[in-house]
């Protein structure tokens, strides 16, 4: 079933190129996903197409007005009441692979991109199903965050990555970081590829990769290991690596 992404934004031009390359372009061409931008300004009731105003109570910046956003969301919903409305904001739930997986099971996602000081609070109360943040930093608007979500969700959909590769093999699938990868040449500026990878011994290669993945996760992202669903073999390896028995 095709996944539909709608983006409500004041800057639709920002989305013209990111989805025209590589995997997402192919997914659009194969009709696995559909991405549409909707200009919030088109729903302004004002003859000057005003979409923002000064905040009640004073303070700096501008706030996005409720009426144009309401009009845009209600227009989308009138055609598909099941559309799920997401507002991108640093105040939202942190985005991660699990959230991407959950969202990939829906059929129609709508991303509301805020600008300036954000949207009138009543937009959230009346129209937004979920607020999502892509990290603890402030972007100039929700547009880049929407692109991140669309990219991460799309690659989880059947057929998008192609038959030769499936998202189920991702390291984040079982909460470990990826092991190191090498390709030719064997030797570069004195740095050689680990011998085991040339051994042709698939068991030894798999074991080496697993150990490297665990080592890397332990040193760089120990927080992931507490959440990881490790097999008995992986738990044993982790124990050995933690005790520094494995070099
Ligand atoms: N808009 C501005 N900053 C953001 C962030 N970190 N995540 C999602 N939307 C945003």
Q: What is the pLDDT of residues 65-101, one digit of tens each?
A: 999 999 999 999 999 999 999 999 999 999 999 999 9
At 191 the pLDDT is: 98
Strands 63-64 and 52-53: antiparallel
**Locus of tokens 């501008």:** 62
Alpha-carbon span 199 to 115, nearest angstrom: 55
Residue among 133, 137, 146 whose CB has most ligand 1 atoms within 8 A, to mutate = 133
- Ramachandran angles phi, psi of 85, nearest 5°: -95, 120
User: Does 167 have pLDDT greater than 80?
Assistant: no
At 197 the pLDDT is: 98
Q: Tell me: the pLDDT tens digits for 100-140?
A: 999 999 999 999 999 889 999 999 999 999 999 999 999 99
Q: Whose CA is nearest to atom 5 of ligand 1?
A: 90
User: Does 172 have pLDDT greater than 90?
Assistant: no
At 116 the pLDDT is: 82
The b-or-e profile of 60-95 (16+ CB within 10 A means b, else e) is eeebbbbebbbebbeebeeeeeebebbbbbbebeeb
| Overall pTM surpassing 0.75 (yes/no) | yes
User: Does 64 have pLDDT greater than 90?
Assistant: yes
> Which helix H or strand E contains 109, and what residues bound it?
strand 108-113
Whether ligand 1 lies within 6 angstroms of the CB of 89 is answered as: yes
């Amino acid at each position: 079933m095709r996944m539909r992404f709608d983006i409500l934004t004041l800057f639709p031009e920002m989305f013209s190129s990111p989805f025209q390359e590589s995997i997402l372009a192919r997914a659009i061409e194969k009709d696995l996903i559909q991405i549409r931008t909707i200009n919030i300004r088109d729903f302004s009731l004002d003859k000057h197409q005003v979409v923002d105003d000064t905040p009640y109570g004073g303070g700096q910046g501008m706030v996005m007005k409720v009426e144009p956003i309401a009009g845009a969301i209600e227009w989308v919903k009138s055609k598909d009441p099941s559309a799920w409305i997401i507002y991108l904001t640093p105040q939202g739930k942190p985005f991660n692979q699990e959230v991407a997986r959950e969202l990939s099971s829906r059929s129609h996602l709508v991303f509301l991109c805020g600008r300036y000081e954000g949207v009138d609070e009543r937009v959230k109360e009346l129209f937004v199903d979920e607020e999502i943040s892509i990290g603890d930093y402030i972007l100039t608007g929700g547009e880049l965050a929407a692109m991140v979500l669309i990219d991460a969700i799309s690659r989880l959909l059947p057929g998008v990555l192609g038959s030769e590769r499936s998202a189920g093999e991702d390291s984040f699938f079982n909460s470990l970081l990826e092991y190191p990868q090498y390709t030719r040449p064997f030797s570069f500026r004195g740095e050689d590829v680990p011998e085991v990878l040339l051994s042709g011994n698939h068991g030894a290669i798999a074991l080496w990769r697993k150990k490297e993945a665990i080592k890397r996760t332990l040193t760089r992202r120990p927080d992931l290991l507490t959440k990881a669903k490790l097999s008995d073999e992986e738990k044993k390896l982790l124990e050995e690596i933690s005790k520094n028995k494995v070099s």
